[in-house]
Structure 1
């Protein structure tokens, strides 16, 4: 019988992976800032068209802009934490599902203990 089990993926932090993540976070921040500017522009455009619904439009756009600004804060925080993170440390990079074959007589406790895949610069270095 086969079962599906979640397996944690961990990355080992290297100079290359740190630089790549930093670039990724900065790009996301940049895109979110662009979206905020675009939303402000769209808000002004809509407010000029329908002056009677100005308050409703402002509320909706403010919510969207605030949502994006919260994401910007989150990525800024992640950038700060990335700078602190020492080279060689492990960081979680999500989960994948693994197909495991089970048979009668197998030790269930061994099957249920947490498994992980360790990746360094895109290469799997260890499977536990």
Structure 2
């Protein structure tokens, strides 16, 4: 029988990986910032339409804009933490699903033990 298991993917922090992670943070930050500006534009456009409740439009849009601004703050915090971490630190960057074969007589503790994949500069160095 096979079971599906979530396996964390960890990355060992090096100068190269630090630069790649910062680049991903920057891309995500820019995307969220664009979304905030676009939502503000759409909000102003809808508020000018006749027959539309300004309060309702503002409530809905401010909720979405606020959610994105919270994500922007979280990204800023993560970026600062990335600058603080020393090289060689392990960061959990992703999760993947893995098929695990389970046979009669297998030790359950071995089947469910923590598994993880460790990367260094995009190459798998350990699959434990």
Instruction: Name the TM-score, length of structure 2 as normaliser.
Output: 0.90
Residue correspondences, number: 128
CA–CA distance in structure 1, aligned partners of residues 29 and 19 of structure 2: 15
Cα RMSD (Å): 1.6
Q: CA deviation at 1:120?
A: 0.8
Q: What are structure 1's unaligned runs of at least 5 residues?
A: none
1:42 is matched with which residue? 42
1:3 is matched with which residue? 3
Q: CA deviation at 1:31?
A: 1.6
Q: What are structure 2's unaligned runs of at least 5 residues?
A: none
CA offset digits 1:80-122 (Å, max 9, x no partner):
1111111111011232222222323322222221111111111
2:21 is matched with which residue? 21
Q: 1:6 to 1:47 in 2, by over 3 A?
A: closer
Q: CA deviation at 1:77?
A: 0.9
Is 1:102 the counterpart of 2:99 in the alignment? no
Moved over 6 A (4+): none
SS at match of 1:49: coil
Instruction: Name the TM-score, length of structure 1 as normaliser.
Output: 0.90
CA–CA distance in structure 1, aligned partners of residues 53 and 77 of structure 2: 36
1:92 is matched with which residue? 92
CA–CA distance in structure 2, aligned partners of residues 77 and 85 of structure 1: 13
